[in-house]
């Protein structure tokens, strides 16, 4: 999730050229993305694939700004993210701050709840704890407490950036995390998972944010110590690890630490980021590793690609359907190619718009190359000066909602074959309801006939250039074949019984 060189999170949204490069990598013919038009017949397999556990986003580091907003705006943001009037995220990543010691001033230096080893001030981190509680109150099924750095007393350089855990401090660190879990559990806020390291191969020595280097040989020690401590003090909270920044590195390093004796039993899921923008040939190796170790894999962070011809981290703010389709395509690949059981976008809110809507109202809806595509919702970077506390929703917000509102925890994915180029179909089933999320990245309307084990459509919702999770007419179903009409450059979710 983290920036390497002081620039904001990897940023940018797909232009048409970039989107074609990614869809080409997924097996779609880029030349065919223009005007296909012909009807296609697709088939939902009766064979189940993975079970979807959750879909979410993180609370770093916007909560530190939102702490200064009015309670009404805070509640509005929470309802947009977690409530039924919003996108109903089924996971929320709460950033357990290390105190920001040595980190450049700003929102990436979150307060620590710990005042000294074993002592806490639970009034600290007011923004982070406010939205942690909102997530619990609004019924988010899975809350993940994730750490960028341990507090400074246990770090080799006395900072919460650029160092590693001191020798002999692993158990103290594990006990500290268990203290936080048990404290919030006592007030009715359950943290379901703890992620004790983040992008562990990166040192974050430039100190533009919190982060700690965690060598491969130390990761199993941390997992075992934390797993054993949670087992005795908070047995319903599990460990998520290791949040490596790149898929290729994840595939190489995870087997090294999880194979150490006594480690695997404490791992609930194997988490990775996808900042190498891996192609399908690399993503397709993830299911084999999941099967080898008997653990579901989670894609826990991605954002911010620029407008170059190949996917790369870079600057661009794109609130349009182009950015929304780019996100939808990444979600589709994570679930259908990587076989991941969870998808988490990087950060739910951001102020990195590259402009101020308080002084230039059109900025919120206009693409620019100064901002970053790191948020679903944005707020004015100049709010402290101009008093503007408005929230600005992007098409990425609605694109994620096309999945998160309807693909709920426990849904089982079934592979789909036979769709034409540029049409991505993800099918899941839960308690007798079938859900299809269909991305049409083509520049023309596509008609798809899809055979599935359902008798009638019960819901249809669409995001496009002119629609935002809008209810639309139901498709017809005849003899188990649904007739889908997909407008150009759209994301549509259908439900069937």
pLDDT bin (cut points 50, 70, 90) of residue 29 is: very low
Q: Which two tokens stand for residue 374?
A: 């790191």
What pLDDT does 40 receive? 57
Tokens 């089924």 identify what position?
90
What pLDDT does 7 receive? 39
Q: What is the pLDDT of residues 90-147, one digit of tens each?
A: 999 999 999 999 999 899 999 999 999 999 999 999 999 999 999 999 999 999 999 9
| pLDDT above 50 for 10 | no
Strands 40-44 and 416-417: antiparallel
pLDDT bin (cut points 50, 70, 90) of residue 306 is: confident
Q: What is the pLDDT of residues 430-476, one digit of tens each?
A: 999 999 999 999 999 999 999 999 889 999 999 999 999 999 999 99
Question: What average pLDDT is seen over the chain?
Answer: 92
Q: Are 181 and 237 in contact (CB under 8 A)?
A: yes
% pLDDT > 90, the chain: 89
Question: What does the alpha-carbon distance between residue 26 and residue 111 come to, in Å, rounded to a whole number?
Answer: 41
CATH class of this structure's domain 26-47+411-496: mainly beta
Q: What is the pLDDT of residues 186-212, one digit of tens each?
A: 999 999 999 999 999 999 999 999 999
pLDDT bin (cut points 50, 70, 90) of residue 39 is: low
Q: Are 106 and 384 in contact (CB under 8 A)?
A: no
CATH class of this structure's domain 55-404: alpha beta
Q: What is the pLDDT of residues 408-423, one digit of tens each?
A: 999 999 999 999 999 9
Q: What is the pLDDT of residues 323-351, one digit of tens each?
A: 999 999 999 999 999 999 999 999 999 99
Q: What is the pLDDT of residues 170-189, one digit of tens each?
A: 999 999 999 999 999 999 99
What pLDDT does 27 receive? 34
Question: What does the alpha-carbon distance between residue 19 and residue 26 come to, in Å, rounded to a whole number?
Answer: 11
Question: What does the alpha-carbon distance between residue 188 and residue 356 come to, in Å, rounded to a whole number?
Answer: 39
Rounded to a whole number of angstroms, the CA Rg of the chain reads 22
| pLDDT above 50 for 4 | no
What residue spans define the domains of the chain? 26-47+411-496, 55-404
What pLDDT does 313 receive? 86
What pLDDT does 41 receive? 84
What pLDDT does 308 receive? 66
Mean predicted confidence (pLDDT) in 273-287:
96
Instruction: Indicate the burial class of 471 (C-beta count within 10 angstroms; 0-12, 13-18, 19 or more).
Output: exposed
* CB hemisphere CA count around 324 (13 angstroms): 30
pLDDT bin (cut points 50, 70, 90) of residue 316 is: very high
């Amino acid at each position: 999730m983290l920036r390497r060189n002081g620039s904001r999170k990897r940023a940018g949204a797909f232009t048409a050229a970039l989107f074609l490069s990614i869809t080409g990598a997924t097996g779609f013919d880029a030349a065919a993305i223009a005007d296909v038009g012909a009807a296609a017949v697709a088939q939902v397999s009766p064979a189940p694939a993975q079970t979807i556990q959750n879909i979410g986003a993180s609370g770093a580091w916007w909560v530190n700004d939102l702490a200064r907003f009015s309670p009404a705006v805070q509640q509005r943001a929470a309802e947009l993210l977690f409530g039924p009037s919003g996108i109903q995220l089924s996971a929320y990543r709460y950033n357990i701050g290390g105190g920001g010691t040595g980190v450049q001033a700003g929102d990436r230096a979150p307060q620590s709840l710990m005042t000294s080893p074993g002592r806490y001030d639970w009034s600290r981190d007011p923004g982070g704890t406010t939205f942690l509680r909102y997530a619990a109150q609004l019924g988010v099924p899975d809350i993940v407490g994730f750490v960028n750095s341990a507090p400074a007393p246990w770090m080799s350089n006395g900072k919460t950036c650029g160092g590693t855990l001191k020798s002999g401090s692993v158990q103290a660190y594990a006990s500290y995390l268990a203290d936080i879990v048990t404290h919030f559990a006592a007030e009715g806020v359950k943290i379901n998972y703890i992620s004790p390291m983040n992008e562990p191969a990166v040192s974050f020595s430039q100190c533009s944010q919190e982060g700690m280097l965690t060598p491969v040989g130390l990761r199993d020690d941390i997992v075992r110590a934390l797993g054993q401590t949670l087992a005795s003090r908070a047995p319903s909270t599990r460990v998520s690890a290791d949040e490596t920044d790149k898929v290729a590195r994840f595939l190489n390093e995870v087997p090294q630490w999880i194979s150490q004796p006594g480690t695997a039993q404490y791992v609930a899921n194997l988490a990775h980021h996808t900042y190498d923008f891996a192609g399908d040939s690399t993503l397709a190796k993830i299911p084999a590793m999941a099967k080898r170790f008997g653990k579901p894999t989670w894609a826990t962070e991605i954002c911010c690609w620029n407008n170059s011809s190949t996917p790369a981290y870079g600057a661009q703010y794109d609130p349009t359907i182009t950015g929304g389709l780019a996100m939808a395509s990444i979600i589709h690949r994570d679930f259908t190619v990587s076989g991941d059981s969870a998808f988490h976008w990087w950060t739910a809110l951001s102020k990195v718009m590259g402009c101020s809507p308080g002084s230039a109202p059109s900025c919120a809806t206009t693409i620019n190359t100064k901002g970053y595509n790191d948020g679903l919702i944005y707020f004015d970077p100049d709010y402290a000066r101009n008093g503007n506390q408005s929230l600005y929703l992007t098409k990425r917000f609605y694109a994620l909602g096309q999945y998160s509102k309807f693909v709920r925890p426990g849904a089982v994915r079934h592979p789909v074959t036979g769709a034409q180029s540029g049409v991505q179909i993800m099918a899941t089933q839960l308690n007798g309801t079938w859900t299809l999320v269909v991305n049409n990245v083509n520049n023309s309307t596509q008609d798809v006939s899809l055979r599935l084990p359902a008798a009638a459509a019960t819901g249809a919702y669409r995001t496009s250039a002119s629609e935002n999770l809008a209810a639309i007419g139901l498709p017809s179903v005849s003899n188990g074949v649904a007739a889908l009409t997909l407008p150009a450059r759209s994301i549509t979710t259908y439900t069937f019984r």
